[in-house]
Amino acid sequence: MRRIILALVEDKPGVLNRIASMFRRRGFNIYSLAVGHSEVPDMSRMVIVVDNAPPNAVDQVTKQLDKVIEVVRVEDITELPIVTRETAMIKVRASPATRGQIIEVLDLFKGVEVADVSPNSIIIEMTGTTDVVESLLALLKDYGIIEIMRTGQLAMVRDSQLPD
Amino acid sequence: MKLTGGQMVCESLLREGADVVFGVPGGAILPFYDYLTQYPKIHHVLVRHEQGGAHAADGYARVTGKVGVCLATSGPGALNLTTGLANAFMDSCPIVAITGQVSRFAIGKVAFQETDVTGATLPVTKHNYLVMRAADIPRVLKEAFYIARTGRPGPVLVDIPKDVFTETADYEYPETVNLPGYHPQTVGDPAQIQKAAKLINGAKRPVILAGRGVLIAGAMEELRLLAEKAQVPVVPTLLGLSCFPGSHYLNVGMMGMHGSAYANIAVDECDVLIGVGCRFDDRITGRVSDFARHAQIIHVDIEPANIRQNIRTEVPIVGDAKSVLRSLIPLVEPAKRSEWLQHIDDLRRAHPLVVRDFGEAPSTQHVIQQLFQETHGNAIVVTGVGQHQMRAGQHYIFDRPMTMVTSGGLGTMGYEIPAAMGAQLGRPDALVWSVAGDGGFQMTVQELATIRDEKLPVKFAIMNNGFLGMVRQWQELFYEKRYSQVKVTGPDFVKLAEAYGMLGLRATRKEEVAKVIRQANAHRGPVLVDFQVAAEENVYPMIPSGQSVKELMEDTLPGLEPTRR
Ligand SMILES: Cc1ncc(C[n+]2csc(CCOP(=O)(O)OP(=O)(O)O)c2C)c(N)n1
Ligand SMILES: [Mg+2]
């Protein structure tokens, strides 16, 4: 099961290393990681998604992350009402003959754009939940995926306590 | 004021009251050692190995409550510190380590003696810094000392490139720190404290499990008041020894793998267990599912990550032990609990700590008991790791706080010499006895030269059993006595003492033990006593690793005399 951990951290050298170490020492895999500046000056916000880790162990890691001096706030938000998104860039084999079919597939999805068209491939850019990104990838598989680049999950707790 | 980076470090050390520092110079930290000559108020102890420096700072910290300081050069020097840092990290000892690093332009270029020291020490420090500008030194050192001594204390390492020591910048030591992610919670949640009081008031068979956190917080008096008011027996952990008077009628003695049977049984039978400043590690709990089976557990600790790390907890209280106990005492009702206390006394009688007779040769138990008698319980006892350590925990009675100095969490052999040196420097007037193993002693023996140079009157009691005794015991009990690499030889320890300019003494028979201890006590300088103890003595009671009180092994051979506890 995947757990989503949200952290606000000081933007300083070595912080990422300290955080990653907490997972490494237990042999947990970081499924995805997204980091960037936050609304607070000199603070970054980070979303860490871990998979195959028992929930109580993640709870322990979360407490240990809080021990890292530069971690200002950290929370396991898996069970909270959250909005999640990620962006993927997908380079797919596309000859003039298959290009049309691929575009038809893309039309089934929201948040998709063609970022580049080359003679033998196209680059598709898509933003959505991880599940939707996964289903697009599944549909594109047969055309021949050359390269995938994903941002990792972004996540935010919604103030309206409505179900997603 | 304009100063060089190296001068700033010295000024900052003085500001923090670090008048004794332990180190070894080298290439990358040379400029610092040059500036050090301008600061005669800083007493630098030249150790013979950086591990010794870190352990000395640790021992110094444990007996004074102050931050210990150690220094090393880059690469091998800094790496030699790591065992000492890990030791301090596990046992919550405040240390600031300052290491030289190669110059900024050389970092990352595989320069001579370059090691990524902040990387290498990341898992064994509470925090660490690589300082890339002299202007940052005052802030970083202020933070380093603050982080080391507050919250759950621990080691902080500051790595400074060689050319930063010589860079000049404005020096002003900050009065405060600004650490947005670091706010140790010292005051416990009143609602939780209420709940704890209710549990205690309703308890029939409560026990307090007291750890090193009580000593760190200086909560010894509060612990005594709580225990006496509510008539709750106190069981110290190995690291908690000396936090509650050993001869107090409510002190049940150490529990855990080699704790007394009665202390372990008391915890097994209790209905409310109040853990204060301890972290319920596996040497205490054994098999977690069987630990304190009938108890509701209250856990007071300043480190939130320690709570529910190993055991279920009904009432977690994050806070400083002193502050929490102060709030708790008025809410706790005076009680008698005579039945429970009587029961514990009965357990004591039914399961005494037995002292085995080995004929002519003294047992380690016998030596420790004599040491207690001859020092009237007034010594600071430092130990190594192994059988002798457990015997010291069982048989020395600690009535004064911060008088037991032992490596608990990491179990670092070789701790006994440098930690004793640090303890003696921290408490120059105290009688410091280091109870050493013949194995561990040989791991840091070079510090005897430092002890002689510093004219420290440390007394060493080597429990010379010719074995890596604790490992031999495990091989005897769990590997059908197939001894594998546990027979250990040593030098002639008396000659060794003489070679280091110390008084060397020896006892081979029981009758000689008290006499040589008296002789050592009377000698003004350092003394080494080679106690040739019985070779194959086993430490009992013992709860084998991962088992419970049900599997507790007691020494039950005939011809045993109960101890005088
Ligand atoms: C640095 C280190 N290496 C190995 C061990 C494993 N170990 C634990 S106790 C022990 C034997 C200690 O022998 P000695 O110092 O003679 O003490 P004794 O048990 O005989 O009293 C060993 C090897 C350790 N704790 N620390
Ligand atoms: Mg030995």
| Cβ-contact A64, A31 below 8 angstroms | no
Q: Contact at 8 Å (CB) between B161 and B28?
A: yes
Evaluate whether B36 touches B61 at the Cβ level (below 8 Å).
Answer: no
Q: Which of A80, A102, A117 is the last residue of a domain?
A: A80
Q: In this structure, are A106 and A60 located in the same domain? A: no
Q: Do A41 and A96 have their domain in common? A: no
pLDDT of residue B561: 46
Looking at the fold, whether A103 and A148 belong to one and the same domain comes out as yes
Q: Confidence class of residue A163 from pLDDT cuts 50, 70 and 90?
A: low
pLDDT at B557: 56
Q: Do B127 and A69 touch (CB under 8 A)?
A: yes
Collect all residues with Cβ–Cβ distance below 8 Å to B471 and sequence separation of at least 6: B386, B486
Nearest to B305 among A17, A63, A72 (CB): A63
Asked if A43 and A69 sit in the same domain, the reply is yes
Q: How far apart are CA B416 and CA B441, in angstroms?
A: 7
Nearest CA to ligand 1 atom 23: B468
Q: Number of C-alpha atoms within 13 angstroms, CB side, residue A105?
A: 21
- Asked if B127 is an interface residue toward chain A (Cβ–Cβ < 8 A), one would say yes
pLDDT at B565 over 50: no
* One domain for residues A134 and A147: yes
> Which burial class, exposed, middle or buried, applies to A138 when counting CB atoms under 10 A from its CB (0-12, 13-18, 19+)?
exposed
Confidence at residue B562, expressed as pLDDT on a 0 to 100 scale: 43
Q: What is the DSSP letter of B487?
A: B
Structure tokens at B436: 């050493």
CA separation for the pair B423, B467 (Å, rounded) = 27
Q: What is the CATH number of the domain that holds A119?
A: 3.30.70.1150
Sorting pLDDT into bands at 50, 70 and 90, what band is B354? Answer: confident
Same domain? A30 vs A55: yes
Q: Are residues A30 and A88 in the same domain?
A: no
Average pLDDT over residues B269-294: 97
Averaged pLDDT of chain B: 96
pLDDT-derived band at A52, boundaries 50, 70, 90: confident
**Res. B268 pLDDT band, cuts 50 70 90:** very high
On the question of pLDDT at B172 being above 90, the answer is yes
Q: What is the pLDDT of residue A57?
A: 87
Nearest residue to B277 (alpha-carbon basis) of B87, B65, B92: B92
CATH number at residue A45: 3.30.70.260
Q: Point out the ligand nearest to the CA of residue B436.
A: 1
Q: Which residues from B are below 8 Å from A71, CB to CB? A: 181
Q: Bin A130: left if φ > 0, else alpha if -120 < ψ < 50, else beta.
A: alpha
Residue B370 per-residue DSSP state: H
The bridge status of strand A154-157 relative to strand A112-117 is: unpaired
Among the residue ranges A58-62, B18-22, B511-515, B544-548, the one predicted with the least confidence is A58-62
Q: Which ligand is nearest to the CA of B469?
A: 1
**Interface membership of B304 toward A (CB under 8 Å):** yes
Residues 6+ apart with CB under 8 A from B435: B368, B371, B381, B382, B383, B384, B388, B389, B391, B392, B416, B461, B463
Question: What pLDDT, on a 0 to 100 scale, did the predictor assign at position B294?
Answer: 97
Whether A50 is covered by a domain: the verdict is yes
| A41 inside 8 A of chain B by CB | no
Contact B431, B461 (CB under 8 A): no
Residue A163 lies in a domain: no
Tell whether A28 is covered by a domain.
yes
Contact (CB<8Å) A69/B130: no
Q: What percent of chain A has pLDDT over 90?
A: 88
Mean local confidence (pLDDT), B198-217 = 98
Q: Based on the structure, what is the number of domains in chain A?
A: 2
Tell me if A35 sits within 8 A of A151, measured CB to CB: no
Q: Domain for residue A162, yes or no? A: no
Q: B228: which residues sit within 8 A by CB, 6+ positions away? A: B250
Sheet holding A29-37, edge to edge: A29-37, A43-51, A3-10, A71-76
In a domain, A52, yes or no: yes
Provide the phi-psi class of B263: left if phi over 0, else alpha when psi is between -120 and 50, else beta: alpha
Q: Where among A56, A80, A104 does a domain terminate? A: A80
With a cut of 90, say whether residue B564 has pLDDT above it: no
Interacting residues of A95 by C-beta distance below 8 A, sequence separation 6+: A120
Number of Cβ within a 10 Å radius of residue B44 = 17
Domain edge (last residue) among A38, A53, A80: A80
- Ligand 1 atom at minimum distance from B389 CA: 21
Contact by Cβ (8 Å): B198, B39: no
- Best of B89, B132, B182 to disrupt the A interface (most A CBs within 10 Å) is B182
SS3 B134: helix
A141 and A102 both lie in a single domain: yes
- Chain B residue with Cα closest to A43: B180
pLDDT score of B563: 44
Please choose, from the candidates B388, B458, B386, B377, the residue with its C-alpha nearest in 3D space to the C-alpha of residue B417: B458
Nearest residue (CA) to ligand 1, atom 3: B413
Question: Residue B123 and residue A72: Cβ atoms within 8 Å?
Answer: no
Residue A100 lies in a domain: yes
Inform me whether the pLDDT recorded for B328 exceeds 60: yes
Q: What are phi and psi of B329, to 5 degrees?
A: -55, -50
In a domain, A161, yes or no: no
A134 & A100 share domain: yes
A120 assigned to some structural domain: yes
**DSSP output for A64-104:** HHHHSTTEEEEEE-TTS-EEEEEEEEEEEE--HHHHHHHHH
Res. B191 pLDDT band, cuts 50 70 90:
very high
* CA distances (Å), origin B470, targets B135, B168, B369, B386: 50, 53, 20, 5
Confidence of residue A54 (pLDDT cuts 50, 70, 90): confident
Domains in chain B, start-ordered, CATH in brackets? 2-170 (3.40.50.970), 190-350 (3.40.50.1220), 364-539 (3.40.50.970)
Q: What is the mean pLDDT of residues A119-125?
A: 97
**Cα(B73)–Cα(B309) distance, integer angstroms:** 36
Average pLDDT over residues B99-105: 98
pLDDT at B408 over 90: yes
For the segment B73-87, the average pLDDT, to the nearest whole number, is 98
Task: Say whether pLDDT at B560 is over 60.
Answer: no
Q: Whole-angstrom distance between the N-terminal and C-terminal Cα of chain B?
A: 61
B462: left (phi over 0), alpha (psi -120 to 50) or beta: beta
**B112 included as an active-site residue:** yes
Which H or E run includes B148?
Answer: helix B137-149
Which contacts (CB < 8 Å, 24+ apart) does range B554-563 have? Answer: B554/B261, B554/B351, B554/B354, B555/B354, B555/B356, B557/B356, B559/B357, B560/B354, B560/B355, B560/B356, B560/B357, B561/B354, B561/B355, B561/B357, B562/B352, B562/B353, B562/B354, B563/B352, B563/B353, B563/B354, B563/B355, B563/B365, B563/B369, B563/B395
Token pair recorded at residue B25: 């110079």
For B465-506, the pLDDT digits (tens) are 999 999 999 999 999 999 999 999 999 999 999 999 999 999
Sign of torsion, CA B137 B140 B143 B147? negative
Q: What H or E segment, with its residue span, contains residue B54?
A: helix B50-64
Taking the C-alpha atoms of residue B379 and residue B434, their distance in angstroms, rounded to an integer, is 10
Q: Is a pLDDT exceeding 50 seen at residue B298?
A: yes
- Verify cis geometry, omega within 30 degrees of 0, for the bond prior to B541: yes
Mean pLDDT of chain A: 94
Q: Is the CB of B539 under 6 A from ligand 1?
A: no
Q: Which amino acid is at B373?
A: Q
> Cβ atoms within 10 A of the Cβ of B472, count?
26
Task: Specify whether B50 is catalytic.
Answer: yes
Tell whether A68 and A52 lie within a shared domain. yes
User: What 8-state DSSP symbol labels residue B207?
Assistant: E
Residues A62 and A99 grouped into a single domain:
no
DSSP three-state, residue B341: helix
User: Residue B537 Cα, ligand 2 centroid: separation in angstroms?
Assistant: 10
> A65 and A41 share a domain?
yes
Determine the structural domain holding residue A41 and report its residue range.
3-80
